[in-house]
Protein backbone atom coordinates (compact mmCIF):
# COMPACT_ATOMS: atom_id res chain seq x y z
CA UNK A 1 0.00 0.00 0.00
CA UNK A 2 1.28 3.46 -0.90
CA UNK A 3 1.67 5.61 2.21
CA UNK A 4 3.25 8.59 0.51
CA UNK A 5 3.01 9.51 -3.13
CA UNK A 6 5.25 12.24 -4.54
CA UNK A 7 4.82 13.46 -8.11
CA UNK A 8 7.16 15.83 -9.95
CA UNK A 9 8.05 17.61 -6.72
CA UNK A 10 10.16 20.76 -7.08
CA UNK A 11 11.19 23.37 -4.58
CA UNK A 12 13.20 26.62 -4.64
CA UNK A 13 14.19 28.80 -1.69
CA UNK A 14 15.16 31.51 -4.19
CA UNK A 15 13.53 32.06 -7.59
CA UNK A 16 15.34 30.16 -10.34
CA UNK A 17 17.43 28.01 -7.92
CA UNK A 18 15.70 24.65 -7.63
CA UNK A 19 17.01 22.55 -4.75
CA UNK A 20 14.57 19.73 -5.62
CA UNK A 21 14.11 19.22 -9.35
CA UNK A 22 11.02 17.16 -10.08
CA UNK A 23 11.07 14.14 -7.76
CA UNK A 24 8.62 11.29 -8.29
CA UNK A 25 8.56 8.54 -5.65
CA UNK A 26 6.10 6.26 -3.90
CA UNK A 27 6.70 5.06 -0.35
CA UNK A 28 5.13 1.80 0.80
CA UNK A 29 5.66 0.24 4.23
CA UNK A 30 9.40 -0.46 3.77
CA UNK A 31 11.65 1.35 6.20
CA UNK A 32 13.54 3.85 4.09
CA UNK A 33 16.81 5.74 4.47
CA UNK A 34 17.36 8.87 2.42
CA UNK A 35 21.06 9.47 1.96
CA UNK A 36 23.06 12.06 0.05
CA UNK A 37 25.82 14.61 0.44
CA UNK A 38 25.31 17.79 2.45
CA UNK A 39 23.06 20.12 0.50
CA UNK A 40 21.56 17.40 -1.73
CA UNK A 41 18.04 18.33 -0.59
CA UNK A 42 17.20 15.69 2.05
CA UNK A 43 15.96 18.05 4.76
CA UNK A 44 14.04 20.13 2.26
CA UNK A 45 12.37 16.95 0.97
CA UNK A 46 11.16 15.78 4.39
CA UNK A 47 10.01 19.28 5.36
CA UNK A 48 7.83 19.23 2.23
CA UNK A 49 6.41 15.82 3.22
CA UNK A 50 5.60 17.20 6.66
CA UNK A 51 3.92 20.29 5.19
CA UNK A 52 6.50 22.68 6.71
CA UNK A 53 7.37 23.99 3.23
CA UNK A 54 5.09 24.36 0.22
CA UNK A 55 6.25 22.91 -3.12
CA UNK A 56 6.94 25.26 -6.01
CA UNK A 57 5.69 22.47 -8.29
CA UNK A 58 4.24 18.99 -7.96
CA UNK A 59 2.05 17.06 -5.56
CA UNK A 60 2.37 15.07 -2.35
CA UNK A 61 -0.26 12.73 -0.95
CA UNK A 62 0.08 11.36 2.59
CA UNK A 63 -2.15 8.32 3.16
CA UNK A 64 -4.20 9.48 0.18
CA UNK A 65 -4.62 13.05 1.45
CA UNK A 66 -3.28 15.96 -0.61
CA UNK A 67 -0.72 17.80 1.54
CA UNK A 68 -1.38 21.03 -0.38
CA UNK A 69 -4.88 21.15 1.11
CA UNK A 70 -3.79 20.50 4.70
CA UNK A 71 -2.09 22.56 7.36
CA UNK A 72 0.96 21.16 9.17
CA UNK A 73 -1.29 20.80 12.23
CA UNK A 74 -3.84 18.74 10.30
CA UNK A 75 -1.04 16.47 9.06
CA UNK A 76 0.43 15.94 12.53
CA UNK A 77 -1.63 12.83 13.44
CA UNK A 78 -0.38 11.03 10.31
CA UNK A 79 3.27 12.01 9.93
CA UNK A 80 5.84 12.88 12.59
CA UNK A 81 9.29 14.39 12.14
CA UNK A 82 12.02 14.13 14.78
CA UNK A 83 14.47 16.97 14.28
CA UNK A 84 18.22 16.37 14.29
CA UNK A 85 18.81 18.91 17.04
CA UNK A 86 16.66 18.30 20.14
CA UNK A 87 16.93 21.96 21.08
CA UNK A 88 14.75 22.73 18.03
CA UNK A 89 12.02 20.54 19.50
CA UNK A 90 12.15 20.53 23.32
CA UNK A 91 10.38 23.37 25.13
CA UNK A 92 8.52 21.98 28.16
CA UNK A 93 9.89 21.84 31.71
CA UNK A 94 9.39 18.14 32.40
CA UNK A 95 10.12 15.13 30.24
CA UNK A 96 6.54 13.90 30.70
CA UNK A 97 4.99 17.23 29.67
CA UNK A 98 7.27 17.31 26.66
CA UNK A 99 6.17 13.88 25.48
CA UNK A 100 2.50 14.51 26.34
CA UNK A 101 2.45 17.72 24.32
CA UNK A 102 2.06 16.00 20.92
CA UNK A 103 -0.89 13.74 21.83
CA UNK A 104 -2.63 16.61 23.69
CA UNK A 105 -2.11 18.85 20.70
CA UNK A 106 -3.89 16.43 18.36
CA UNK A 107 -6.87 16.20 20.70
CA UNK A 108 -6.11 13.12 22.81
CA UNK A 109 -7.64 13.47 26.29
CA UNK A 110 -5.14 14.11 29.13
CA UNK A 111 -5.44 10.65 30.74
CA UNK A 112 -4.81 8.84 27.44
CA UNK A 113 -2.09 11.32 26.51
CA UNK A 114 -0.27 10.51 29.74
CA UNK A 115 -0.55 6.76 29.10
CA UNK A 116 0.76 7.15 25.57
CA UNK A 117 3.61 9.38 26.76
CA UNK A 118 4.66 6.95 29.49
CA UNK A 119 4.50 4.05 27.06
CA UNK A 120 6.67 5.96 24.57
CA UNK A 121 9.13 6.87 27.35
CA UNK A 122 9.31 3.21 28.32
CA UNK A 123 10.13 2.34 24.74
CA UNK A 124 13.14 4.68 24.79
CA UNK A 125 14.15 3.63 28.32
CA UNK A 126 13.40 6.98 29.98
CA UNK A 127 10.18 6.32 31.89
CA UNK A 128 12.02 6.80 35.19
CA UNK A 129 13.15 10.26 34.13
CA UNK A 130 9.60 11.48 33.42
CA UNK A 131 9.58 14.11 36.19
CA UNK A 132 12.96 15.63 35.29
CA UNK A 133 13.62 18.75 33.30
CA UNK A 134 14.62 17.67 29.77
CA UNK A 135 17.35 20.31 29.81
CA UNK A 136 19.07 18.32 32.60
CA UNK A 137 19.39 15.24 30.38
CA UNK A 138 22.38 14.38 28.19
CA UNK A 139 22.22 15.17 24.47
CA UNK A 140 21.77 11.47 23.77
CA UNK A 141 18.81 11.29 26.19
CA UNK A 142 17.29 14.51 24.82
CA UNK A 143 17.29 12.95 21.36
CA UNK A 144 15.46 9.93 22.78
CA UNK A 145 12.90 12.24 24.42
CA UNK A 146 12.29 13.80 21.00
CA UNK A 147 11.77 10.36 19.47
CA UNK A 148 9.36 9.48 22.31
CA UNK A 149 7.44 12.72 21.67
CA UNK A 150 6.68 11.63 18.13
CA UNK A 151 6.13 7.95 19.00
CA UNK A 152 3.51 9.01 21.60
CA UNK A 153 1.40 10.56 18.83
CA UNK A 154 1.30 7.15 17.10
CA UNK A 155 1.52 8.50 13.55
CA UNK A 156 1.51 6.05 10.63
CA UNK A 157 4.71 7.63 9.28
CA UNK A 158 7.76 8.63 11.36
CA UNK A 159 10.77 10.46 9.96
CA UNK A 160 13.96 10.57 12.02
CA UNK A 161 16.57 13.18 11.07
CA UNK A 162 20.05 11.83 11.93
CA UNK A 163 18.90 9.68 14.88
CA UNK A 164 22.38 8.29 15.59
CA UNK A 165 24.30 11.57 15.70
CA UNK A 166 25.31 12.40 19.29
CA UNK A 167 24.17 8.96 20.43
CA UNK A 168 26.44 6.85 22.59
CA UNK A 169 26.54 3.09 22.10
CA UNK A 170 23.56 2.46 24.38
CA UNK A 171 21.57 5.27 22.75
CA UNK A 172 22.19 3.86 19.28
CA UNK A 173 21.06 0.43 20.50
CA UNK A 174 17.88 2.02 21.86
CA UNK A 175 17.20 3.80 18.56
CA UNK A 176 17.70 0.48 16.75
CA UNK A 177 15.25 -1.25 19.11
CA UNK A 178 12.65 1.52 18.77
CA UNK A 179 12.85 1.41 14.97
CA UNK A 180 12.42 -2.37 15.12
CA UNK A 181 9.31 -2.03 17.31
CA UNK A 182 7.81 0.60 15.01
CA UNK A 183 8.43 -1.63 11.99
CA UNK A 184 6.73 -4.53 13.79
CA UNK A 185 3.76 -2.25 14.41
CA UNK A 186 3.53 -1.68 10.64
CA UNK A 187 4.66 1.95 10.72
CA UNK A 188 6.59 3.51 7.86
CA UNK A 189 9.90 4.58 9.36
CA UNK A 190 12.05 6.93 7.33
CA UNK A 191 15.35 8.56 8.12
CA UNK A 192 17.78 11.10 6.78
CA UNK A 193 21.19 9.83 7.74
CA UNK A 194 24.93 9.83 7.07
CA UNK A 195 25.63 6.70 9.20
CA UNK A 196 25.87 3.97 6.55
CA UNK A 197 26.44 1.16 9.08
CA UNK A 198 23.11 2.00 10.66
CA UNK A 199 21.41 2.16 7.25
CA UNK A 200 22.73 -1.27 6.25
CA UNK A 201 21.62 -2.86 9.51
CA UNK A 202 18.19 -1.30 9.91
CA UNK A 203 16.60 -0.15 6.65
CA UNK A 204 14.98 -2.04 3.79
CA UNK A 205 15.15 0.66 1.14
CA UNK A 206 17.78 3.30 0.37
CA UNK A 207 17.22 6.39 -1.76
CA UNK A 208 20.17 8.52 -2.84
CA UNK A 209 19.41 12.18 -3.40
CA UNK A 210 21.98 14.03 -5.44
CA UNK A 211 21.72 17.71 -6.33
CA UNK A 212 17.97 17.65 -5.90
CA UNK A 213 17.27 14.52 -7.93
CA UNK A 214 16.93 10.79 -7.15
CA UNK A 215 20.19 9.18 -8.20
CA UNK A 216 19.32 5.66 -7.04
CA UNK A 217 16.59 3.75 -5.24
CA UNK A 218 16.91 0.14 -4.12
CA UNK A 219 17.52 -2.25 -1.27
CA UNK A 220 20.70 -1.66 0.77
CA UNK A 221 22.65 -4.53 -0.79
CA UNK A 222 21.88 -3.28 -4.28
CA UNK A 223 22.77 0.33 -3.41
CA UNK A 224 25.96 -0.45 -1.47
CA UNK A 225 27.18 -2.69 -4.31
CA UNK A 226 27.30 0.27 -6.69
CA UNK A 227 30.76 1.60 -5.96
CA UNK A 228 31.02 4.03 -8.87
CA UNK A 229 27.63 5.50 -8.22
CA UNK A 230 28.39 6.00 -4.52
CA UNK A 231 31.66 7.70 -5.37
CA UNK A 232 29.87 9.96 -7.81
CA UNK A 233 27.42 10.91 -5.07
CA UNK A 234 30.31 11.46 -2.62
CA UNK A 235 29.02 8.74 -0.29
CA UNK A 236 30.74 6.08 1.78
CA UNK A 237 29.72 2.48 2.39
CA UNK A 238 29.22 0.52 5.62
CA UNK A 239 32.48 -0.46 7.33
CA UNK A 240 31.72 -4.13 6.94
CA UNK A 241 31.10 -3.71 3.20
CA UNK A 242 34.47 -1.98 2.82
CA UNK A 243 36.19 -4.70 4.85
CA UNK A 244 34.74 -7.38 2.58
CA UNK A 245 35.94 -5.53 -0.51
CA UNK A 246 39.41 -5.08 1.03
CA UNK A 247 39.58 -8.86 1.45
CA UNK A 248 38.66 -9.32 -2.19
CA UNK A 249 35.16 -10.65 -1.53
CA UNK A 250 32.59 -10.07 -4.27
CA UNK A 251 29.62 -10.19 -1.92
CA UNK A 252 28.42 -6.89 -0.47
CA UNK A 253 28.21 -7.55 3.28
CA UNK A 254 25.73 -5.50 5.27
CA UNK A 255 26.15 -6.81 8.79
CA UNK A 256 28.92 -8.20 10.96
CA UNK A 257 26.86 -11.35 11.47
CA UNK A 258 26.78 -12.20 7.78
CA UNK A 259 30.46 -11.35 7.42
CA UNK A 260 31.36 -13.67 10.29
CA UNK A 261 29.18 -16.46 8.87
CA UNK A 262 31.00 -16.12 5.61
CA UNK A 263 34.46 -16.07 7.27
CA UNK A 264 33.59 -19.29 9.08
CA UNK A 265 32.89 -20.87 5.72
CA UNK A 266 29.15 -21.07 6.21
CA UNK A 267 28.53 -18.85 3.19
CA UNK A 268 31.11 -20.24 0.80
CA UNK A 269 28.93 -19.44 -2.19
CA UNK A 270 28.97 -15.77 -1.19
CA UNK A 271 32.67 -15.17 -1.56
> Would you tell me which residues interact with ligand ATP (CB under 6 A)?
13, 19, 36, 38-44
Least distance (Å) between residue 156 CB and ligand ATP: 23
Residue placing its CB nearer to ligand ATP in the complex, 43 or 174: 43
Nearest approach, Cβ of 210 to ligand ATP (angstroms)? 10
- Taking the least distance from each CB to ligand ATP, the nearer of 41 and 134 is 41
Cβ closest to ligand ATP, residue 17 vs residue 69: 17
**Closest CB to ligand ATP among residues 44, 202:** 44
- Provide the minimum distance between the beta carbon of 17 and ligand ATP in the complex, in angstroms, as a whole number: 8
Greatest alpha-carbon span in the chain:
59
Polymer length of the chain:
271
Min dist CB 192 to ligand ATP, Å, is 6
When the beta carbons of 43 and 241 are compared against ligand ATP, the nearer one is 43
Give min distance, CB of 154 to ligand ATP, in A.
26
Provide the minimum distance between the beta carbon of 236 and ligand ATP in the complex, in angstroms, as a whole number.
Answer: 14
Smaller CB distance to ligand ATP: residue 40 or 174? 40
Amino acid sequence: MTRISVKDLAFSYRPGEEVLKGITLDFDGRSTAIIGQNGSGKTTFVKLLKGLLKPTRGEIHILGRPVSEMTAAALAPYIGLVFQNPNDQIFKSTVLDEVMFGPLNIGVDPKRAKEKALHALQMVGLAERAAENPQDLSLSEKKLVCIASIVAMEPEILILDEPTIAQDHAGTATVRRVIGRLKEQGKLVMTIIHDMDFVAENFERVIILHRGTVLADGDPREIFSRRELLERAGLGVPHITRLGWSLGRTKTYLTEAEFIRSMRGEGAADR
